[in-house]
Chain A
C-alpha cells in the first residue's frame, strides 16, 4: 500500500519536472551491486511513454515449478500479459501473491492449472508457494520498455529514449521487494553513452524450508 503510492508520486514527479531528452539509440546501462560488482537479473525500465510500444503478446508466459523452485524465478512481462504456472513437480503447490499489483492464489494443484493469471497492472509481483516457503519468484510487469541485465550487469537499450529517467529493480534488493529505484540519467555520469548505477542487494535468502525451521539447532 505504501509502496504503491510511493511509485505514483515518483511517476507524478517525473511527469511534472522531467523534460524528455532523446538519447542515442544505443544506450548501455551498467548495474552494479553495493560492492561495485556487476549485478545480474536487474530489471531496468524506461519511465515515460515508450517510443517503441510493444504490444502485449496474446500468448501467456510460463513460470514453471521444478524441484520446488519457480523456473524461471524472474519473469519480465508486459502489462496485461498473462502467466501460466504449470506444476512440473510430482507434489502439489499453492502459488499465491500478496503483491498489490496482482494478489492472487492458485490453491493446491498439480500439473497445469485451470487458467493463466493475467497481470493487468504494472509493477512487481512476488509469488510464493504457501506450502513451500523457500519458493519465491518474481514477475516484473513492465509498463514501458524494460530489460534484464546480463551476467555483466549490462542492459543495452537499443531504443530511443524519450525520457531522462529509468527505474531499476532487483529481486534481492534491500528495498521493499515491490519498490523500484528511479534514476535521473541527466544527473548520472556517462562515458560513451554508458551509464552506471548501483543497487544495494541483500544476499540471496536462505532456502527457508520446513526443515530449516524445525530441524537443526542454531
Chain B
C-alpha cells in the first residue's frame, strides 16, 4: 500500500515545488525571450541608427564635396589655369586647389572624358576605371564610390564652366581606415567596405587571414552552452558606385557585449529562481509536515480502534480547524463504535430468548474457567417431549416455558454456576464442585430444582427431562471434550430412555469410530473404486450334486482401516439408514456378475441379503427391476435372503412387498432360521420359498445329537411346508453325510468352500467338477 500510493507529504512538496518550478520556468523563459527580443530590437535599432548616420554622413560628405567642387571650379584662376593648356600648370593647379578643400584626388578630363591631368601626377587608368569615370561624368553632381589605383574614393564630377563647360574636374575623397574609424565613432558600429567579389577595401575592424573577411563577419560564432551564437550582426548596404564595380559596406555590430549583459541577466534570474525553488521546497516541506503529523496521529488512533482500544483523543490547539474537527469526529466515532460493539457483543454472547449464554460463548467460557485443579459438573438437559408441548400449547407458551426454565436454572447456585441455552430445548449448566462436595448430592440438588413445576401463564407445568452428566476433569480435562461428552451423555440418555445418564469412558471414541466408518462407507459407495466387492460362497445341491447357487456376500477393504468386518459396517449402515444405498449397490453388482457368468455358460443362481429397511424402502422393488432389466437376469435366478428377525417385525408393508416379489419370480429365503422367535403360524403366512438353518445348528452337527434332532425335524418341517432347506456352516464330511441322510436340499459352508471373489469361484468351480 505504502509503496504504491504517494504520500501526502511528498505530494504537497511535489505540487508546491512543481508550481514554483513551472512558474519560474515560464518567467525565465519569458524573460529570456523578452530580453533576447529586446536585445534583437536594440541591435536592429542601433543598426538602423547606424545606417541613418552612415547615410547622413555620406550625404554630408557628398554635399561637402559638391560644394567644394563647385567653388573650386568656379574659381577664375582655376579656369584660367585649366584653359591655359599647359600641362604642368594644370597639374599644379589641381594639386593646389585640391589641397584647399582637402581633396585626396583631383582629375581633369576634357568634355569627352579623356583624362588631361591629375593631382597625383602620372595616373594610368584601365578600361574598367575609364568606364567608371565616364559613368561618374554622365551622372554629374552625384558622388560615386570608385576604386582608382587600388584606393577607394568618393568621387564627384563637376564641369569647368568658362562659362560654357570646357572640361570636367573629378574630385575625390579617399575612403581609408581613418574614414572607417571615424564612421565607427559616429555610428558605434564597425564599418567595412568591400569591392565586388568580397574584396576588403578598408575596415575599422581587423580580420584574421584564415577566412575571407565577409565570411568572418557572417559566420563568426561564440560558443554558448551547447550551441554557438553569432558574434556579429551585420547589415550590408550597396553604395552609390559605378555599375561595373559595385561597392558594398557592412555595418557590423559586435554582439559580445550584448551577450555579456544578457548572460549576466539570465544568470541573475536563474539564481533568484533557484532560491525561490529552495524556499518552496523548505516551506512546502514544513507545511506538509504540519499537515501530515496530525494525520499520522489519527492513523495510530484508527489502528487502536481496529484493535478495539477506544482511547480518547484530544485535538491540539496548534491544529488547523479542519484537523481539529477531524480529531473530534474520530473521538466521537470511537465512542460510538465502542458503545455499539458492547451492544453487539452482548447480543452475540447471549441467547436472545432466555438471555442465557449462547452455545458459542459458553464454549469460550468453559475454556476460560475450567482448570484441572477444580472439579466441576457439566449437566446437559433436554426437555422430554418438548415438541409435543409446543404442538399442544403453541410456540409462544413453549418460548415462555424455555424462559421460565432459564430463570429456574439461574436460581441454582447463583454465585458460581453458569448456564447456557445450547440449542432449542437443550440447556447446559456448569456447576463448580468444591472439595467437600459429593457429585451425586450436587446432581440430586440440581434435579430437585428441576423437578419443581414451572409457572407459565398461570399454567403449572411439571416438565420431565433427559439429563446427561460429565464430571470435570474425571471424564476429560479438555473443556472442548467435556462439552462434547456432555452432549453424548445427553444423547445416550435419550436413546437409552435413561433420565439421568453419566458419561461412560470410551463412548466418544466409539462414536467417532462409528462416524468415521459410516463416512468412509458413504465415500466408498460414491467412488466405487473396488474398496467394496462381492464374494460368493457356493451352495451344493445335494439332490443333483451340482453347484447351482451362490450366496453373495459384501466385503470391504478400506485403504486405511483395512478389512472392515461386514457385521460391523452393515449394522452401522442399518443404523444410519445408508443400508438401502448399500443394498442397491450389491443388487447391481451381483446381477451384473450373474449376467457375466451366464455369458460364460455358467448358470448359477445368486442369493442376496436384504434388510428390513430395504423392504420398507419404496424404491427397493423398482431398483431390483431396473437391475434385472439392465442385465437381463430373470427374477428366478435371484434369491432374497431376509433374516428371521427382520421377517418377524411384522411390517405389513414389507410382507406385501415380499408377496409381490415372490409373484414376480424372486425366491424368498429365511436367513438364520432357528435362532429367532419365529412362530410357525407366522411362517406359514409368509411368502417364503426356502429355510436357511442357522449355522449354529450345523457347525457341530456331527457331534450334537440335539442339533441333529433339531435339524432333522426342521428339514422335515420345511419339506412338509413345501419349502426347500439350506444348511449353512457345514464344517465336515460327517455332518454332510448326516445332512444327506436328512434329505437337506442344499448345503453351504467352509467344508465346501469359503466365500470367494468371482474369478476364484470360477476356478474353484472347474476344480470341483473335475474332482467330483
Residues in A lying within 8 Å of B, measured CB to CB: 1-2, 94, 96, 98, 103, 126-130, 133, 135-136, 176-177, 208, 213-214
Contacts of B165 in A (CB 8 A): 177
B34 beta carbon closer than 8 Å to chain A: no
Bound form: Cα–Cα A208–B79 in Å: 16
Interface residues of B in 68-97 (CB under 8 A from A): 70-71, 74, 76, 79-80, 83, 85
Bound form: Cα–Cα A208–B161 in Å: 10
Inter-chain contact A98/B79, CB cutoff 8 Å: yes
Inter-chain contact B83/A213, CB cutoff 8 Å: no
Pairs of residues from A and B, 3 with the lowest C-beta to C-beta distance, nearest first: A128-B163, A98-B83, A177-B164
Contacts of B70 in A (CB 8 A): 213
Interface residues of B in 677-705 (CB under 8 A from A): none
Contacts of A96 in B (CB 8 A): 76, 162
B111 beta carbon closer than 8 Å to chain A: yes
What are 8 A-B contacts with C-beta separation under 8 Å? A96-B76, A96-B162, A98-B80, A126-B164, A177-B166, A208-B161, A213-B67, A213-B71
B110 beta carbon closer than 8 Å to chain A: yes
- Min CB distance A92 to B, Å, is 14
- Min CB distance B506 to A, Å, is 143
In the complex, which residue of chain B has the Cβ closest to the Cβ of A136?
B163
Bound form: Cα–Cα A155–B161 in Å: 30
Supplied contacts A129-B163, A208-B161, A213-B67, 13 more A-B pairs, CB within 8 Å = A1-B85, A96-B76, A98-B79, A98-B166, A103-B83, A126-B162, A126-B164, A127-B163, A128-B163, A136-B163, A177-B165, A213-B70, A214-B67
- Min CB distance B302 to A, Å, is 95
Knowing A2-B110, A98-B80, A128-B161, the reply to whether A133 touches B166 (Cβ < 8 A) is: no
Contacts of B80 in A (CB 8 A): 98
Bound form: Cα–Cα A176–B80 in Å: 18
User: Which one of A98, A135, A208 has the greatest number of beta carbons of chain B within 10 Å?
Assistant: A98
- Min CB distance B285 to A, Å, is 74
Contacts of B83 in A (CB 8 A): 98, 103
In the complex, which residue of chain A has the Cβ closest to the Cβ of B74?
A133
- Min CB distance B411 to A, Å, is 139
Bound form: Cα–Cα A129–B76 in Å: 10
In the complex, which residue of chain B has the Cβ closest to the Cβ of A134?
B163
Contacts of B85 in A (CB 8 A): 1
Residues in B lying within 8 Å of A, measured CB to CB: 67, 70-71, 74, 76, 79-80, 83, 85, 110-111, 161-166
Inter-chain contact B163/A126, CB cutoff 8 Å: yes
Contacts of A1 in B (CB 8 A): 85
User: Which one of B67, B71, B111, B162 has the greatest number of beta carbons of chain A within 10 Å?
Assistant: B162
Contacts of B111 in A (CB 8 A): 176
In the complex, which residue of chain B has the Cβ closest to the Cβ of A213?
B70
Contacts of B162 in A (CB 8 A): 96, 98, 126, 128
- Min CB distance A178 to B, Å, is 8
Knowing A176-B111, A208-B161, the reply to whether A130 touches B76 (Cβ < 8 A) is: yes
Bound form: Cα–Cα A128–B163 in Å: 5
Bound form: Cα–Cα A126–B161 in Å: 11
Bound form: Cα–Cα A177–B165 in Å: 8
Bound form: Cα–Cα A127–B162 in Å: 8
Bound form: Cα–Cα A208–B141 in Å: 14
In the complex, which residue of chain A has the Cβ closest to the Cβ of B77?
A130
Bound form: Cα–Cα A136–B166 in Å: 13
Bound form: Cα–Cα A173–B22 in Å: 82
Inter-chain contact B110/A135, CB cutoff 8 Å: no
In the complex, which residue of chain A has the Cβ closest to the Cβ of B71?
A213
Contacts of A177 in B (CB 8 A): 164-166
Bound form: Cα–Cα A126–B165 in Å: 10
- Min CB distance B59 to A, Å, is 10
Bound form: Cα–Cα A208–B80 in Å: 19
Bound form: Cα–Cα A177–B163 in Å: 10
In the complex, which residue of chain A has the Cβ closest to the Cβ of B142?
A218
Bound form: Cα–Cα A136–B161 in Å: 10
Contacts of B164 in A (CB 8 A): 126, 128, 136, 177
Bound form: Cα–Cα A214–B67 in Å: 8
Bound form: Cα–Cα A31–B67 in Å: 39
Contacts of A126 in B (CB 8 A): 162-164
Knowing A98-B80, A213-B70, the reply to whether A133 touches B163 (Cβ < 8 A) is: yes
Contacts of A103 in B (CB 8 A): 83
Bound form: Cα–Cα A135–B161 in Å: 11
Bound form: Cα–Cα A135–B162 in Å: 11
Bound form: Cα–Cα A94–B165 in Å: 18
Contacts of A208 in B (CB 8 A): 161
Contacts of B76 in A (CB 8 A): 94, 96, 130
In the complex, which residue of chain B has the Cβ closest to the Cβ of A212?
B70
Knowing A98-B166, A176-B111, the reply to whether A133 touches B161 (Cβ < 8 A) is: yes
Bound form: Cα–Cα A2–B165 in Å: 14
- Min CB distance B271 to A, Å, is 56
Bound form: Cα–Cα A94–B110 in Å: 25
Bound form: Cα–Cα A1–B116 in Å: 13
Contacts of A128 in B (CB 8 A): 161-164
Contacts of B166 in A (CB 8 A): 98, 177
User: Which one of B67, B74, B164, B165 has the greatest number of beta carbons of chain A within 10 Å?
Assistant: B164
Bound form: Cα–Cα A22–B673 in Å: 199
Bound form: Cα–Cα A1–B164 in Å: 15
- Min CB distance A2 to B, Å, is 7
- Min CB distance B756 to A, Å, is 149
Bound form: Cα–Cα A208–B83 in Å: 20
Contacts of B79 in A (CB 8 A): 98
Bound form: Cα–Cα A212–B599 in Å: 154
- Min CB distance B768 to A, Å, is 158
Bound form: Cα–Cα A63–B238 in Å: 51
Bound form: Cα–Cα A126–B74 in Å: 16
Bound form: Cα–Cα A59–B51 in Å: 66
Bound form: Cα–Cα A98–B80 in Å: 8
- Min CB distance A63 to B, Å, is 14
- Min CB distance B219 to A, Å, is 40
In the complex, which residue of chain A has the Cβ closest to the Cβ of B79?
A98
Bound form: Cα–Cα A133–B79 in Å: 12
In the complex, which residue of chain A has the Cβ closest to the Cβ of B141?
A218
Bound form: Cα–Cα A126–B71 in Å: 21
Bound form: Cα–Cα A213–B74 in Å: 10
Bound form: Cα–Cα A133–B80 in Å: 14
Bound form: Cα–Cα A166–B443 in Å: 182
Inter-chain contact A135/B67, CB cutoff 8 Å: no
- Min CB distance A184 to B, Å, is 25
- Min CB distance A116 to B, Å, is 20
- Min CB distance A132 to B, Å, is 9
Contacts of A214 in B (CB 8 A): 67
Bound form: Cα–Cα A214–B71 in Å: 10
In the complex, which residue of chain A has the Cβ closest to the Cβ of B85?
A1
In the complex, which residue of chain B has the Cβ closest to the Cβ of A137?
B163
Bound form: Cα–Cα A214–B66 in Å: 10
- Min CB distance A145 to B, Å, is 25
- Min CB distance B365 to A, Å, is 126
- Min CB distance B659 to A, Å, is 155
In the complex, which residue of chain A has the Cβ closest to the Cβ of B160?
A98
